């Protein structure tokens, strides 16, 4: 136990370094499109480039003014979650 304090100090420094490495500021992106399909907690949205994108809706998603239906135009603000999915943070219905 001659070097016990040194090993604990190095371990704490490494732990703090890895915690700061994981705590990065995530940038929210915005997507405009029309709802094509709703599958459980996933939304398929057709964008302006005629491509279909998949977004995941969770319990932290804010809906303004209501939840979307098929054919609604929407504005989606999303972030990439830990599973590399597009997780919706704020969903605004723009109309039909």
Domain boundaries, given as residue ranges, for the chain: 29-95
Other CB atoms closer than 10 Å to residue 41's CB: what's the count?
Answer: 12
- pLDDT number for residue 25: 57
Residue 9 gets which letter from DSSP? H
Q: State the pTM of this model.
A: 0.70
DSSP annotation of 25 reads: P
| CATH, domain range 29-95 | 2.40.50.140
φ, ψ dihedrals at 58, nearest 5°: -130, -170
Least confident interval from 9-13, 14-18, 77-81, 85-89: 14-18
Q: Could you read off the pLDDT of 10-69 as tens digits, one per residue?
A: 888 787 777 666 555 568 899 999 999 999 999 999 998 889 999 999 888 999 999 899
Predicted confidence at residue 32, as pLDDT, reads 95
| pLDDT at res. 52 | 94
């Amino acid at each position: 136990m001659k070097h016990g304090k040194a090993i604990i100090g190095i371990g704490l420094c490494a732990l703090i370094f890895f915690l700061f490495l994981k705590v990065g500021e995530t940038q929210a992106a915005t997507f405009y499109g029309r709802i094509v399909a709703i599958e459980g907690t996933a939304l398929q949205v057709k964008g302006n480039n005629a491509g279909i994108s998949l977004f995941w809706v969770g319990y932290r998603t804010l809906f303004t003014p209501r939840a979307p239906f098929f054919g609604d135009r929407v504005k989606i603000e999303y972030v990439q979650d830990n599973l590399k999915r597009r997780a919706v943070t704020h969903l605004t219905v723009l109309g039909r």
